[in-house]
Amino acid sequence: MSLGSAAAPLHAQRGGRGSGPSVGDGAAFQPTRLETLTADFKLSKDQKKAVKTVLDVAHKDAAATREALLASHAAIGAVIAANKSQPDVDAAVKQYGQQAAAMAMLEMKALAQMLQQLDPEQRANQVAVRSAFFLMRGIFLDSKHWDAVPDARSY
């Protein structure tokens, strides 16, 4: 190791961000969903708490749908692996589609409840509303938490 690299300052890593690049790697900081919502809508402390509560409750309420979505996804694989007939594959895909639609409905209900916590001026911010809309996709897929750095996970 050269003296120059040994003398380089070390950067602290921010905890709780999963296995993505750390701040010290030269990668850009990526905010969590709640951090993004807070910045985009300029949430007050009370609004941030209310939004977090709405999304915490919605995440908990999504548990059954999340499990059904995972089960129906696995069922598609099982039907294909068992070399079942096309009607069997179609039925499994239809079931999965119904669960995906149910999850999307839960996500949009949570978005509506979240927007109700905002002032009319905040709700009029179409850029922030659009950002929130896209942040909601897949928000409840992780069984442990919803407030993470958004990724490409989808259903």
Q: Under a CB-based contact definition with an 8 Å cutoff, are residues 129 and 123 in contact?
A: yes
Q: Is 138 left (phi over 0), alpha (psi -120 to 50) or beta?
A: left
Q: Which residues contact 11 (CB under 8 A, 6 or more apart)?
A: 22, 23, 24
Percent of the chain with pLDDT strictly greater than 70: 83
Give the pLDDT of residue 110: 98
Write down the domain spans for the chain: 31-136
Using one digit for the tens of pLDDT, what is the confidence trace for 95-143? Answer: 999 999 999 999 999 999 999 999 999 999 999 999 999 999 999 999 9
Mean pLDDT of 9-34: 57
- Name the 3-class secondary structure at 27: coil
- Pairwise CA distance, residues 150 & 146, whole Å: 9
Residue that is written with structure tokens 């905040």 in the block: 122
Q: Give the model's confidence band at 149: pLDDT under 50 very low, under 70 low, under 90 confident, else very high.
A: confident
Q: Is 23 left (phi over 0), alpha (psi -120 to 50) or beta?
A: alpha
CATH classification code of 31-136: 1.20.120.1490
Using one digit for the tens of pLDDT, what is the confidence trace for 57-93? Answer: 999 999 999 999 999 999 999 999 999 999 999 999 9
Q: Give the model's confidence band at 27: pLDDT under 50 very low, under 70 low, under 90 confident, else very high.
A: low
- Pairwise CA distance, residues 1 & 40, whole Å: 43
Q: Give the model's confidence band at 155: pLDDT under 50 very low, under 70 low, under 90 confident, else very high.
A: confident
- Of residues 20 and 144, more confidence is placed in 144
